[in-house]
Each structure stands twice: as C-alpha cells, then as structure tokens.
Structure 1
C-alpha cells in the first residue's frame, strides 16, 4: 500500500509497504525497488568532485580558524594517500585516533586503493587500562599499519606489545603522501575494487562487551546511501551541510553521515566537541559558527544540547536558522526531549522543521527503516527502506524484528559461530530488537521501537518488565534531571533503577554547576526526583512500570566494562553485571540511606 507523506515542504518519497503473514510471522518490504547504486565509494568521491570541485567538503577547527578541504583537494590528497597504500599489502589499516580531516583523507585513500580502514573507539587505546578490547581487535583484524593523528595521546598503546611490528602512520606521513601524483599501482588496485570489496571494518560490542568485527563492503555502504537518496530526494537539489561529532568508529557517524555528505557533494564540519560537560562548549561554538541544514545526534547528545538551547536564544536561533531535518538514532528519544526540541524550533521561527529517525545497526550499514513521513512524537522508526525486507517474529508478548537486504553483512570477522547464530533459517539477520506495528492492518503507518529483546526481564511474580519503554518514560517524567537509567529487578519483587544525573539539566534547579556527588545530595535535585517519581508511580501503578527505588551513581559509565559506547548508548546488561554491588544495595531488604525509596 502506498500513501503520500505531505511533509514540511521537503520532497520525500511516498510511503509504500508490501506485506504478508506467513507461518506465524509478518513480512514487510518496501514498495520501492532499490535502484542500482554506484559500485564503489571511490566512485562517489570522483562523482562529487566532478559536480562541485571547489565546494568545501571537509572542515575542522585549526587554532582560531578553520582548515577547509574542497572536493578537488580531497580527491588529489586521497589519490596520493591511495598511491602510498597501494605500495603495501592489502591488510586493513587500524585507526586509533578520532574524527579529523586527515582521518577522512586516509579513509578516502583506502576507498580508492581497496585498503580496508578499521577505526576503533579512541577510548580503547587511551582510557583503557589493560587494552583488552584493542588486543582482541588486533588478533582478529591482523593489520599491518596503524594510524594516529599524533603519537602523544597514543604512545602507551603504540609502545605495547599488542601493536609491535606495525608500521605507524601519523598526520605528518599522510601530508607527505598527499602531494604525490596518482600512481600506476593505485590505478591497478582501484580497477579491482568492486561491490564485494571490504571498505571498512567496524567493531561492535553488542550485549557481550567483546568487540565483533563487521566487514562493511563497498556494495553494502553504497546501497545504503542509494536507499537514503531515494527516500530523501530533496538532497539532490540541496547539498547537505553537517556539523557532526558522532565518532567514525561507529556506523551512525562513520557510515550514515559521512557517506551521505559524500554521496550528495555536501559539506561536513567535523565537530571536536562531545555531549560531555568538558567538551560541550566546543560543539556550541561550532553550531554558532556554522548553521547546519541537517543535524544528526543520539538522545544523549540532545539531552546535553537542549538545556543550552533553552538558555541561549542566540544559539538556538543560529542552530535552527537553516535546519531542514533534525534526526535522532541509536537509542529511543524520550518524549520530553522531542517536545522541547519542537518548541525550540517554533520559537526560533522554524515551525516546519522535519523531525525524524531511522533504525538499524552496524550490521545493516546502518539504515534499515526510515520514518520519511510526518511524525507527531518520538518512537516511530518508520518503514522498510528500498531493498530491505523485515520479518516480525512473535517472542512471548513481543515482536522480534529481523532484517534482510543488500546492506546487511554476510557475517562477522573470523567469528563463524557468532555468524551462524546471527542469521535465521531464511537468512534474516537477528538484530535483537523488538517492534510494534502502529496499526497491524496498515503497516505503512510505521513501526514503534519496543526495546531490546534481551533487556526485558520478569519480576518474581512472572510479570514482564519492558525496559525500553520504562527507560524512556522515566527519563521524560524526571526531565531535565536524569541523563540515563539502568533498570534492575530480575526475579525480584519490585523495580529499581540506577541513574546518572544530567549536569546541564540540574543547573536549572541548583542555579550553579556542582560536582556530581554534590548534585546527588542537593535538596532541589532530591525534591524534584521525589516528586517526579511519585507522579510517575501514580500514573503507572502496575508492578511492571512502578519504580520502588532509585540509586544515583556518581562515577560515569565505564567503557572498559562495556557500559557505554562512544555514542552514549548505555548497555543495560553490561552495566548491571559491572555494578553488582550497587545493584545489591539498590535491591537490598535494608537499603543504605543513599537509595531513594518510594512507598
């Protein structure tokens, strides 16, 4: 069935979904056939350069100014770097450092030369104490070269036996290579790059905390961009301008956003900030300097940004001045944040802002569904993208969603058992998420994200607790005080939550910035939490939703323990495992005074 979206003055694809029920499962397919995508990402760079050679492609802060690289300059640099890479073997290049222009040019050189690039979380080589995840990655990846923008922050990792024997590339070496002419060796290598060639290897931890390598082929990534181009045809006439911090070690920033800019000959300002108190100021400065046309972020990023927009009218006006699309992904967005963003946009004179989302994973390149129609609230993740087929399988009282399509991986890197377990008998990838149909008889109205299948648990009474719904509901109810929560109570008598405070949101109550430990005991914060949770419980009296206890955590999520990703996604299971002592206090028959109890 097909319907028009009539959305916000943007040209978007009509909604079209074909569906059938078979053997107890529901199958959904896009009504739009996937048109043939360009075969390689290198061809995207060459095409963009032909269309807009002088347009700024990449920019980053450099002292008081900006370092800007046009498409023509990027192609020349990528050919030089690709020529250098073509002189060596075709083993992946391990990338330890974060987003930068040099990182991007290395990646583009890899695309041209058929050299896979493998960016990993910066924390694995800087914050980690034992380099456990880095060791595992190197064992699976077997790189021969490693890139860092500069040695200093990574010296401890570079000096370890894990990376011994690897050729170290820095920005200095890259800049020397950028001046080289394209070599015959590069031409020979590029001629053999095709849709099945591996462009990147990204590592995803999932629920186990052990990184799994996902080979991303040129065909997977190009097909995903073709899907976006068909769903958002306005991009053909409106080259996007992005201000983006999302790390390239993850698929959202590194595949969805970077390749979207490349496909449509847009401009990317690499934001050195992050949604952390010590780095948020850089993001605010960048958003004042460059007004994005599309803005992509995760819920944790919006939770940090919204209080700043509410306090600074000039910042808010600048941010929304040219914004056409505001997009969230990677986790569920609390309804409160959706409402506040919508209000801010209208106050800034941008009443027609298209607020939307999509859904997918590293294994799906990432986009598998898209909400390319008007939404009134958060939660609807849209319909299958062109070329994608979804299979909805009943699991208890949930519908597990599985994915098949040209942008889905063929398997994990050197993990045959995990690969076998990742696909069902029909070849659908088991992503581990649950969904609900907005209208079971009209799938074109979209799917609602219904949490992770593995995160939900039963109380001792046998009552199921839907962790995803409880998490987003509680964050909205306690806004703007809580940053994130972890839900506990498996086989117990009640639900308790471990929670982190949102420092920016708390300022509205305390009227001053305070350390986390002081915020946790501040009377205004405690009173707000008490009142908010009591109101939540009055509105949600069922045991499956009622909060009995809250314990505020002073120390941030630990990336070594797998509690959090670079994007701010909290792994519920890993956090509960890593914080067994806190969970025991939370659920104790005689809890300590710092545990807030609700009668």
Structure 2
C-alpha cells in the first residue's frame, strides 16, 4: 500500500469516523480525503510531476496535514523542514533536494518566513513555487511565484477526478515518500530517503506495539517536520483510524485545556513535555481520559515514568529508540512494562528486523556486553540523497545500519543505550550536531578555534557549550557570541554557554579530545 492508498482506504471504510478534531476544525475521514484531493489537483495544475520534491516549512496545522497527504497523492516526495531553521539553513535543504516548491507561512512567532528565505541569498534555481498555508495574500519580491492558499487551490478545480485518480495510481509502494534531513558528523545536511512501503510497515508495527487503536484521540504536539510528529503522529493515526488533534506549538496550559476539552487519550513527546506538565497546575484539569503516554529521544528517568503514571494518572507509558536513518524506530518498550524497564531500556526490535551489538572489530559481542548498535530490516533507509559514500559508511555489506550509538542487548532482547559514538547531543528532544554548530561559529571574526559539547541541563536534558579559542588580538565576549549565533542557528543549536580557553586539547592526529572537555564540564 501507499500513503495515498491509505487515505482513500480510510475514507471508503470509515467515512464518518473523525479524522481531525480540535480548535482548528473537525473532519471525518471522508471529508479529509476530499480536502486532500483538492491539494492533489492543485499540485497537478501547478505543474508538479511524479518524483518532484516539495518542502513543507510550516508549524503544525490541519493544512500541513492536508498539504502533505495531497502532495503525496500527486506523486510528490515530501521534504519536511523544521520551523526552527533560519533562512540560510532552509535554503540549504531546498537546494540539496532540488525542491520545486516550498509550502510555508507568512508569519510564525514573529518571523517572516518568505523574507527569511529571500534574505538568505542562496540561489535556488529549481524552486518555482512558494505556497502559503496561512491566510496571507501571497505577495512578495522573490524570484519564485508566491501563491496564497486559495490562489494555490483555485487552478486545481479544472482537473477532473479521473485524472487525479490516475496520477495517484502512478505512486508505487517502493516510491520515495519523503526525504528527512539530518546533519551528519561533518555538519553537512544529509537527506534520508524512505519509501511508502517501509514507512507504513514500520509505523503499523509501532502503532501495534504502543497499543494505538481506533477512536483514540491523539494530541499531536511533536513537530510534523520530525518523524515523531509526521510518522508516529499523522500516519500512525491514519493506520489505526485514530483522531488527530494537532497543536501548532506546545504550550503547557493550552495542552492541559485540550486534554480536558477534547478528551485526549494519547500524548507523546520528549521527557521535557511531561516534566513541564508535572510542574504545572495539572490537578486543576480533568485528565482522566489519558490512557497512553509515550516518550523518548533523551534519557528517561524511572522517576519520571512513575510520576506520569501516579501524578498524571496515565496508566500506560512506553518508550522507544530510533533515528531518522532507521525510519524513526529501532526498538519499542511496551506500555505495560514495569517502570524500571520502560525507563532503563528502549525495548525490543521490530518484527522482521535484527539488532546486533558489535565490538570495535565489527564482531558480535556477548549478551550484556557494550558495543555499537546496528540494525537490519525494513526500518533501514534506502540511503542518503546523492551521497553514496556516506550511505556505504552507514549501511554495511550485510545490510546493517550502523547507528553510531553504544548499547547492550540482554538475553531477552531488551536494548539499553549506554553512550554515543557520535558527538551529537539532544536538546529537549532535538538532535544537535557539534560539527554543524562549530562550522557556523567559526565564521565569527573573534573566534579562532571552537569545539562544541553537550552538557547536562535539568530541564532540556542537554544543552550546548562552546569552548572557544579567541582570534589573535580579539576580546571575545561570550554573551555577544551567543547573541550573534541566535540569528544564524535554530534555537536548540545555540550554545547556552561559551567558555574561553587558550587552546583546545588535541591528539597526535589533530583531533579535538572532546571527552576531555566533557570531563571538565
């Protein structure tokens, strides 16, 4: 099956079931399919062809859902982009993916998104259309065509329904459905290729493992630009005929109100989300509808799992582990497991997949012994976009994806994460890559050398610390460096601390000894 096929199937079999609810509106699965078809027709009318790439750089919304599903129906490959990225970062993703169109909003959190993109100065010769998903008029001085939402949809009304069905039929299960970009250890963005077939297979298993079921009401707070929001949110709800309740951005009070008013049954997010809910006046809200909570993406203390169950009164809690290259899922700890197991492990691998722990020589280790986590199965990406060398480095000749994480696998098949081979750190559920941040900081005139590490943070799990060697004769100001970086990096990538040093510790090969810097932290 394909994702467009799934949308059509749900409309046919469950036409009156509620697909989307909440303040933004209510749609049955039949109504959702009609809205999606309108976007498919509009995409065809705008000249988008099967296999073209389209970016979506916008906050969570009903229109994000409709646009993504409609573009997929036109055979387009989605390129979801985080709203946290600035213009230059987004332009890099659009250029690397040769995107023909980008769907965005005029304003979000005080930022003008089309203006940010135009001001990046990055040539985007393939970009033909900028489509606004909000109600802005669609005017601007950029080199590409800017369409309002209504202006985008209008030309599609002349496309006949049979042509739309014919186009959707061209989408094959093994067609590339999306390209999710994730920075590698070199700091350059890498596009991860996934197909319709493997995406639906992986998240069908995910939905079964976490016990998502029909008529669940799932509060979607995770960004749709991320696997957690898009695939473990939108697509999982479609797979299980659950109701989506999208939230533009997480706000503790607003979330508590929605849980009460919409009778939310499922809530998933990074540990910080639940920490914030527990710190709020949650006793003033009726949260008894909640039956399932899910978290991951960072260290999950056993005490947090206990408090979700006892204080928020959510009977079932699950954790999971994955990375973009594993289609978002390597393992899942079931929601009925004891708190110590949910917090202390990341569960078992998917059916049809195989997890191996390898030593430094690439040989399997004994149960309980640490080594690099590798996985083989349907949850391994096709590869990196236009990067065969990086693909060969990530996926070995036997088809195992090397995660770069260190863990142990016990005799019962439960996986534990013990360390990271990569330097990446996780800020409130968002992956931050030191090499990428360092590359930007080295553009600062007062910085001669820099190394970025993750340091513990009570709320976010980890935040960045930049260890800076000032340029000769410069009087580097830590506060000024942090402020300078805010306009060039997504918020979670901005270092929270800048430490000035005379030199960085390096080995004989010139590599920075980051563990030594971490030890000092």
Separation in structure 2 between the aligned mates of residue 557 and residue 69 of structure 1, nearest angstrom: 44
Alignment partner of 2:419 out of 423, 435, 451: 451
The 4+ residue runs of structure 1 with deviation greater than 6 A are 177-181, 551-564, 583-587
Separation in structure 1 between the aligned mates of residue 484 and residue 412 of structure 2, nearest angstrom: 38
Separation in structure 1 between the aligned mates of residue 243 and residue 216 of structure 2, nearest angstrom: 6
Residue in structure 2 matched with residue 393 of structure 1 by the alignment: 358
Residue in structure 2 matched with residue 294 of structure 1 by the alignment: 266
Contact 1:379/1:448 (8 A) holds in 2: yes
Separation in structure 2 between the aligned mates of residue 123 and residue 243 of structure 1, nearest angstrom: 21
Residue in structure 1 matched with residue 174 of structure 2 by the alignment: 196
Alignment partner of 1:333 out of 289, 300, 304: 300
Separation in structure 2 between the aligned mates of residue 584 and residue 556 of structure 1, nearest angstrom: 22
Q: Tell me whether 1:581 sits opposite 2:499 in the alignment.
A: yes
Separation in structure 2 between the aligned mates of residue 247 and residue 212 of structure 1, nearest angstrom: 19
Contact 1:387/1:405 (8 A) holds in 2: yes
Residue in structure 1 matched with residue 7 of structure 2 by the alignment: 45
| SS of equivalent residue, structure 1 residue 94 | strand
Equivalent residue pairs, number = 434
1:16-165 matches, cutoff 5 A: 39-61=1-23, 66-87=24-45, 88=47, 89-90=49-50, 91-124=52-85, 128=86, 131-150=87-106, 153-160=112-119, 161-162=121-122, 163=124
Q: Structure 1 residues 60 and 117 mapped into 2: Cα distance closer, same or farther (>3 Å)?
A: farther
Tell me how far 1:501 sits from its aligned partner.
Answer: 5.9
Contact 1:332/1:449 (8 A) holds in 2: no
Alignment partner of 2:338 out of 360, 375, 388: 375
Q: Structure 1 residues 156 and 42 mapped into 2: Cα distance closer, same or farther (>3 Å)?
A: same
Tell me how far 1:181 sits from its aligned partner.
Answer: 6.6
Q: Structure 1 residues 280 and 205 mapped into 2: Cα distance closer, same or farther (>3 Å)?
A: farther
Residue in structure 1 matched with residue 389 of structure 2 by the alignment: 417
Tell me how far 1:452 sits from its aligned partner.
Answer: 1.4
Tell me how far 1:287 sits from its aligned partner.
Answer: 2.5
Alpha-carbon displacement from aligned partner over 1:386-438 (angstroms, at most 9, x marks no partner) = 1111111024973111111123111111122211111123121111112223x
Separation in structure 1 between the aligned mates of residue 483 and residue 456 of structure 2, nearest angstrom: 10
Residue in structure 2 matched with residue 280 of structure 1 by the alignment: 252
Larger relative contact order (C-alpha < 8 A, sep ≥ 6)?
Answer: 1
Tell me how far 1:108 sits from its aligned partner.
Answer: 1.0
| SS of equivalent residue, structure 1 residue 356 | strand
| SS of equivalent residue, structure 2 residue 222 | coil
Residue in structure 2 matched with residue 405 of structure 1 by the alignment: 377
Tell me how far 1:252 sits from its aligned partner.
Answer: 0.9
Residue in structure 2 matched with residue 213 of structure 1 by the alignment: 191
Alignment partner of 1:344 out of 291, 311, 316: 311
Separation in structure 2 between the aligned mates of residue 280 and residue 557 of structure 1, nearest angstrom: 29
Separation in structure 1 between the aligned mates of residue 419 and residue 500 of structure 2, nearest angstrom: 24
Contact 2:20/2:244 (8 A) holds in 1: yes
TM-score (norm 2): 0.74
Residue in structure 2 matched with residue 261 of structure 1 by the alignment: 237
Alpha-carbon displacement from aligned partner over 1:106-138 (angstroms, at most 9, x marks no partner) = 1111222211121201122xxx3xx33223212
Contact 1:78/1:178 (8 A) holds in 2: no
Residue in structure 2 matched with residue 430 of structure 1 by the alignment: 402
Contact 1:500/1:553 (8 A) holds in 2: no
Tell me how far 1:262 sits from its aligned partner.
Answer: 0.7
Q: Structure 1 residues 584 and 299 mapped into 2: Cα distance closer, same or farther (>3 Å)?
A: farther
Tell me how far 1:182 sits from its aligned partner.
Answer: 5.3
Q: Which moved more, 1:146-155 or 1:87-96?
A: 146-155
1:547-562 matches, cutoff 5 A: none
Separation in structure 2 between the aligned mates of residue 57 and residue 180 of structure 1, nearest angstrom: 27
Residue in structure 1 matched with residue 226 of structure 2 by the alignment: 250
Tell me how far 1:326 sits from its aligned partner.
Answer: 1.1
Tell me how far 1:273 sits from its aligned partner.
Answer: 3.0
Task: List gaps (5 residues or longer) in structure 2.
Answer: 134-148, 362-368, 435-452, 462-477, 506-519
Tell me how far 1:552 sits from its aligned partner.
Answer: 13
Separation in structure 2 between the aligned mates of residue 287 and residue 362 of structure 1, nearest angstrom: 29
Task: List gaps (5 residues or longer) in structure 1.
Answer: 1-38, 457-466, 473-483, 487-495, 506-550, 588-597
Separation in structure 2 between the aligned mates of residue 557 and residue 220 of structure 1, nearest angstrom: 41
Alpha-carbon displacement from aligned partner over 1:370-389 (angstroms, at most 9, x marks no partner) = 21251322121111111111
Q: Tell me whether 1:306 sits opposite 2:299 in the alignment.
A: no
Contact 2:84/2:491 (8 A) holds in 1: no
Q: Structure 1 residues 81 and 182 mapped into 2: Cα distance closer, same or farther (>3 Å)?
A: farther
Residue in structure 2 matched with residue 324 of structure 1 by the alignment: 291
Q: Structure 1 residues 399 and 60 mapped into 2: Cα distance closer, same or farther (>3 Å)?
A: same
| SS of equivalent residue, structure 1 residue 427 | coil
Tell me how far 1:450 sits from its aligned partner.
Answer: 1.4
TM-score (norm 1): 0.65
Separation in structure 1 between the aligned mates of residue 357 and residue 490 of structure 2, nearest angstrom: 29
- Root-mean-square deviation (CA), in Å? 3.7
